[in-house]
Amino acid sequence: MSAEPASPSPTEMMKQIPYVLRRHRYLPGLGKFIAYYAAYLALVIGAVVLPGWPVKAFCVVAASLTIAGLYVLGHDAGHGSLVPGYRLNRWLARLAFLPAYAPLSSWHRAHVLLHHNFLRVRGKDMVWMPWSLEDYHAASIWRRGWYRFLRTLPGLSFYWTLGNWFPYLLFPPGTALGPRLKQFHLDRALVLGFAGVLFGALSLVAHAAEAWPWAEPVGSAGVVLLALVAPYLCWTWLVGLVDLVHHTHPRSICFADSSEWDYYDAAVRSTVHVILPFGLHWLANNILEHNAHHVDPRVPLHNLPEAQGRLEAAYPEDIHVEHLTLGYTLWLFRTCRLYDYERRRWLDYDGTPTSEAMRPTALGAIGRS
């Protein structure tokens, strides 16, 4: 397979993003953090005490959106980009991740050390990495069925919960955390403590609401279901979808191992800029301007649109811009099932190619400046 000319180096790519876009300010990050947390608490209280199941259901879904918003803010803080200062960023990240039940230490390993440093590398990156045809044939019929189920609309929540949350965030191997193991145990205890305090506080609110004539409070089981479980499950479906569309595309590249990895191929050619319908991009806190984030995670969320625009102007043929619709998502499920790591193309379950082979850029761009 012939290679394209050598890709731009990391330094060359970062020159497309002015230094001013990397400056961190207190007001945008802190303001959104407070607003999202206030909305989250108001909505879970609403789910517990407001009258009518349609209203409660609305509160649950809306609460899941605030969990998503807080998670994106925590993600920015985890990269040290939400506000100025290392310590403040770390604590904001810890607190923002609590409604998603995500310990910061294990998130740092999974997201920063694995996902960012080995983006689209088989055996390293854990975000929607596809099987090869050989992997599929070697798997049991049950594992094949599970793999196929995850690549359906109902499977998105299971993908996040059982494929990421349990093995990478909640119960990662201790040896993988190294010196962060003690901090991880503290972070996980903080998550469990948050869930316990939230349950206790909402139970007290529900008990007090029994005296309010307009309220329709739920019991303890209802508090668990409507405030602790249902918003979380709705959020896992959302994050499963977002993770899918960020890096899955017929023209995206997956790498068989680290020796093939190229910064430009991963951050630019294999990352997708997804546009939400109806002008709802603000719901995602700009994280869907994802090429800019992977090129330089130091860029704060509020500056990602401008940084993304500059990258798209510089590399218009290699950045994929797609509009998120139901049809687009189903098309991805049909097209991007298995992957031919040698020819760099997507396959159907029977081995039929579903995309053209992607040529690699010339090696040598890794770490070049």
* Residue 108, in any domain of the structure: yes
pLDDT at residue 283, as a whole number: 81
- List pLDDT tens digits, range 327-346: 999 999 999 999 999 999 99
* Residue 162, in any domain of the structure: yes
For residue 343, the enclosing domain spans 10-347
Task: Examine the pLDDT at 366 and tell me if it is beyond 50.
Answer: no
pLDDT at residue 261, as a whole number: 93
**What is the overall mean pLDDT for the chain?**
93
* Residue 359, in any domain of the structure: no
Question: Is the CA virtual torsion 188, 191, 197, 199 positive or negative?
Answer: negative
pLDDT at residue 15, as a whole number: 86
Task: Examine the pLDDT at 165 and tell me if it is beyond 80.
Answer: yes
Instruction: With beta carbons less than 8 A apart as the criterion, state whether 291 and 308 touch.
Output: yes
- List pLDDT tens digits, range 70-88: 999 999 999 999 999 999 9
Q: How do beta strands 338-340 and 345-347 pair?
A: antiparallel
pLDDT at residue 173, as a whole number: 85
Task: Examine the pLDDT at 2 and tell me if it is beyond 80.
Answer: no
* Residue 2, in any domain of the structure: no
Instruction: Give the list of residues 6+ apart from residue 17 with CB closer than 8 angstroms, or none.
Output: 292, 295, 296, 299, 307, 310, 311
* Residue 97, in any domain of the structure: yes
Q: Which amino acid is at 325?
A: T
pTM of the model: 0.93
- List pLDDT tens digits, range 80-121: 999 999 999 999 999 999 999 999 999 999 999 999 999 999
* Residue 367, in any domain of the structure: no
Task: Examine the pLDDT at 251 and tell me if it is beyond 50.
Answer: yes
For the record, the structure tokens of 31 come out as 């303001």
- List pLDDT tens digits, range 193-233: 999 999 999 999 999 999 999 999 999 999 999 999 999 99
* Residue 327, in any domain of the structure: yes
Domain count, the chain: 1
Average pLDDT over residues 16-31: 90
* Residue 5, in any domain of the structure: no
| pLDDT band with cut points at 50, 70 and 90 for residue 368 | very low
